[in-house]
């Protein structure tokens, strides 16, 4: 099969012929229709995150496609099923984290040191075929095409999980910081739920689009958010923790700020002179918070309430897709079709 192979950290992605995997016990083989390019894929390829521990290195955890073969013991999926894959496939079930039997164990699983993670310690979805744990797949709505589903499998999953983790109440106001791959969907999720929604972005070129996507108000920073009345929930969907720290100025008493993204070069800071402590505010971390939330996100997209914005690249142009993703030069997700 053809796959986007990374020979070494910081090397270009190249389409190469590699062996087609076979599904092991509990796994399914998926013929990939489309796979999104996540910033985590880029950082992994650049060596910011640990480089894949397998060879040849193939990343990608936003793969959508058709089940073409079942491994031994699989009964929950059938050949012909249209499925999406996830970043965390499985956890060990025995470490301190797993033994707590939390609702997220085996569904988010990033605290488990033995997690099976797509594109990190097992082959990812930037290939014509990928073998994954059947239990980590989700059935796609019938009328949702693979290219549209792909960005939801990580970006949409993360932004919806962040909104759900904040538990906004009907009367509360939601602000979305960073209108990119996650943020453009977070705005739409908030609007679909009926919340008064604010977009926070320093890019004036995104103001009109942010309003089209559901923002009633658009501001540039935390000070402007405060002047506009503040927000009960701030969803941090951009890549700057410095901007997240600044946004605290606009968080209302009793409010929650949700860190849903990773800034590998920065840190989120709460200064000792802020009113954070006396205002009983909270910082919440959120990522892929369970397959239930992914299914909900996919259903909202299938219903037309949320529309991912993405650019499609053929597999022969995967290096361009990666370069433009790294440069922030796509609106708002690169999706490679295989």
CB under 8 A, 24+ apart: contacts of 165-172: 165/258, 165/284, 165/286, 165/289, 166/233, 166/235, 166/256, 166/258, 166/284, 166/286, 167/256, 168/193, 168/195, 168/232, 168/233, 169/232, 170/194, 172/196, 172/232, 172/233
| Among candidate residues 185, 143, 124, the one with its CA nearest the CA of residue 338 | 124
pTM of the model: 0.94
Given a cut of 90, whether residue 167 has pLDDT beyond it is yes
Given a cut of 60, whether residue 130 has pLDDT beyond it is yes
pLDDT in tens, 33-57: 999 999 999 999 999 999 998 999 9
Identify the pLDDT of residue 6: 97
Identify the pLDDT of residue 110: 65
């Amino acid at each position: 099969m053809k796959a986007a192979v990374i020979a070494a950290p910081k090397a270009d992605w190249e389409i190469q012929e590699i062996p087609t995997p076979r599904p092991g016990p509990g796994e399914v083989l998926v013929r990939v229709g489309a796979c999104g390019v996540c910033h985590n894929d880029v950082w992994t390829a650049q060596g910011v995150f640990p480089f894949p521990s397998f060879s040849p290195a193939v990343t990608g955890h936003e793969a959508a496609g058709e089940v073409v073969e079942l491994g031994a013991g699989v009964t929950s999926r059938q050949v012909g099923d249209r499925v999406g894959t996830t970043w965390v496939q499985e956890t060990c079930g025995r470490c301190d984290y797993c033994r707590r039997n939390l609702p997220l164990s085996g569904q988010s699983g990033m605290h488990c040191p033995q997690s099976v993670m797509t594109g990190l310690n097992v082959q990812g979805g930037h290939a014509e075929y990928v073998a994954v744990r059947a239990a980590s797949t989700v059935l796609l709505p019938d009328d949702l095409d693979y290219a549209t589903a792909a960005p939801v499998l990580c970006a949409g999953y993360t932004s919806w999980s962040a909104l759900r983790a904040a538990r906004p109440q009907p009367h509360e106001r939601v602000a979305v910081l960073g209108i990119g791959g996650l943020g453009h969907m977070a705005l739409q999720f908030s609007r679909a739920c009926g919340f008064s929604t604010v977009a926070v972005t320093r890019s004036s070129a995104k103001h009109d689009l942010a309003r089209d996507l559901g923002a009633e108000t658009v501001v540039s920073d935390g000070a402007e958010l405060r002047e506009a009345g503040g927000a009960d929930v701030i969803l941090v969907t951009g890549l700057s923790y410095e901007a997240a720290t600044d946004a605290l100025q606009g968080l209302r008493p009793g409010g929650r700020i949700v860190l849903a993204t990773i800034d590998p070069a920065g840190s989120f800071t709460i200064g000792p002179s802020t009113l954070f402590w006396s205002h009983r505010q909270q910082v919440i971390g959120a990522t892929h918070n369970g397959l239930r939330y992914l299914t909900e996100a996919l259903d909202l997209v299938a219903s037309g309430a949320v529309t991912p914005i993405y650019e499609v690249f053929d597999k022969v142009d995967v290096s361009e897709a990666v370069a433009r993703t790294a440069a922030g030069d796509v609106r708002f997700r690169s999706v490679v079709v295989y």
